[in-house]
Structure 1
Amino acid sequence: MPHATAPDGTRIAYQLGGRDPGNCHGGRGQGGLEGADRNEPPLLLLAGQSNNHHWWDPVRADFEAGRRTITLDYRGTGDSDMPDRVYSTTGFAEDAVAVLDDLGLDRVDVYGTSMGGRVAQWLAILHPERVRGLVLGCTSPGRTHGFERSQEIRRALAHPDQTARDAVLVDLMYTPGWVARNPGPYPVLGDAAMPAYAKGRHLVASNSHDAWEELPSIKAPTLVLHGTDDVFSPAANAQLLADRIPHARAELIPGARHAYFHEFHSLAGPLVDRFLRSFG
């Protein structure tokens, strides 16, 4: 598995998927992207807090008709290094840039969900030249101005029993009817192999996110997606972000909870794909 090296020396594992168009977009790195389609750049997919690239496994193929997809394992997850030092959403964004640099990619489309949406905000803010199109899913601008989950949910997620915590998280992610038809395993419940300190570092990074003041500087056309029944990251955050980011629009998926991109992928996937193919 290829790795990129972040500015602080941390090795970040990344994965490639999709069809090689055979005419790569500025590729010069070890990942085999030489000669990508200049009209449809690769799509960088950013997962949620304390999750690795497997977050995207059920839906990755939805975006791979004629383009490459790129995922990564955040530091502290998967096959990436796990330094016990401060993590941040800005730092995760710089890790993503290290992956793009390793692949020799100047510009990509970016789709981040949950904490990945927070990381994607910083990627578009700090490196506008690297982001052609931006999709922010089930995310928020941060605690200072965003709508937060209830204290009841926070207490339930802090239950000392892992099985109880997982049951709460499944209910926040998916509708009961879908869970009854799809008994799992679910790829969005966190990287089980993460050390406890790394989980804590991820939690602090996500909770400390605050991009409110910088959001108006985002230049990339932006689609904001959210499930109407999401209480993990309340759906009111979608319009809040769309109003704050120039050239952004919000789309709500009726009846969906936090993992709308998985349960409702037959609706969400085409929405994302059409948006990203609507400009060039």
Structure 2
Amino acid sequence: MTIRRAFADLSVGQVHYAECGDPQAPPVLLLHQSPRSWAEYREVLPLLGQRYRAIAMDTAGFGDSAAGDGPASIEGWARVAVELLDALGIERADVVGHHTGGVIAVEIAAAFPGRVRGLVLSSTPFTDQNFRRARAGRPPIDEVEPSDDGSHLAALWRRRQGFYPAGRPELLEAFVRDALSASGSPEDGHRAVAAYRMEDRIHRVAQPTLILRATADPFASPHAAELQRELAHARTVDIAGGMVPLPDQLPEAFAAALLEFLETLA
């Protein structure tokens, strides 16, 4: 199935997106983790596109999307995502987010409830005071000091290696490529997540919600229980063996969980 790629002129500048499926089918918007790009969903798009208009956008400042002039924030990225829906003539969509994308998805559902039919939060952190305190005490996740000999690229690889499946170097290569293409620091997304006060916003989320827990993702797996407590109406589904790069690590399992949930909304 063909993946179509294009740009939309939005408030931050040109925003890149990729889509697959019938343009008249029900739309699904997919939001990636930081510092990745739409390519995180490259294998997922054709699987969803058999039944839906599946759209994966590059968050402002990542991939091929312009960053705009303002500071990076979850609220700003959510507004740009809704601008994309407007540009595409989409009144209401199902919204799927992985890691940082899940945090953006929460804000879209909270700030623009009429635009979201269903919500999927994949490996999404619950960013409350405890999260912010713990994050403040940790070193940067994806920021390394540039070096003349290029050793910082290997350092970037090593920082992520333990959270990626063995024998899948192509997944780490995709991560490094996307990290290098970020308009600012690849750490900007993590800083924006840490600054977001989800505890003040999540009570606004009333849409049908699926929480996807990648069981081998130590960053996000523990947050599934916290999200479930906050979203009593949500359902949690485990994807066994899923790690940080879940959508491109296990695209079939990821897409199957999405499709099963989305069919319940029809």
Q: TM-score range by the shorter chain?
A: 0.7 to 0.9
> Given the alignment, which residue of 168, 178, 199 partners 1:212?
199
Equivalent of residue 252 in structure 1, options 219, 222, 238: 238
1:238 CA displacement: 0.6
- Structure 1 counterpart of 2:181, one-letter code: A
Partner of 2:189: 202
The answer for the alignment partner of 2:103 in structure 1 is: 118
Letter in 1 for 2:122: G
Aligned to 2:255: 269
Q: What is the deviation of 1:258?
A: 1.5
- Secondary structure of the residue that 1:223 maps to in structure 2? strand
Which deviates more, 45-54 or 197-206? Answer: 197-206
Give the match for residue 2 of structure 1.
7
Q: Conserved in 2, the CA contact under 8 Å of 1:114 and 1:137?
A: yes
Displacement of 1:268 = 2.3
1:90–1:279 Cα change, 3 Å: same
Gaps (5+ residues) in structure 2? 1-5, 146-151
Question: Matches of residues 156-171 of structure 1 in structure 2 within 5 Å?
Answer: 157-158=142-143, 160=145, 161-171=152-162
What is the TM-score normalised by the length of structure 1? 0.81
Q: How far, CA to CA, are the matches of 2:144 and 2:13 in structure 1?
A: 33
Larger relative helix fraction:
2
1:222 is matched with 209
Distance 2:76 2:203 in 1: 20
- The residue that corresponds to 2:15 in the other structure is 13
Q: Does 1:134 align with 2:134?
A: no
Classify the secondary structure of the residue corresponding to 1:278: helix
> How is 1:32-43 mapped onto 2 (pairs within 5 angstroms)?
33=23, 36-37=24-25, 41-43=26-28
Q: Which residue is 2:42 aligned to?
A: 57
**1:222 partner letter:** T
TM-score by structure 2 length?
0.85
* Partner SS for 2:257: helix
Gaps of 5+ in 1: 21-32
* Alpha-carbon RMSD: 2.5
Identical pairs, percent: 24
Which amino acid in the other structure matches residue 186 of structure 2?
K
Match of 1:99 in 2: 84
> Contact 2:45/2:55 (CA < 8 Å) preserved in 1?
no
1:175 corresponds in structure 2 to: 165
SS in 2 for 1:45: strand
Residue 71 of structure 2: aligned partner? 86
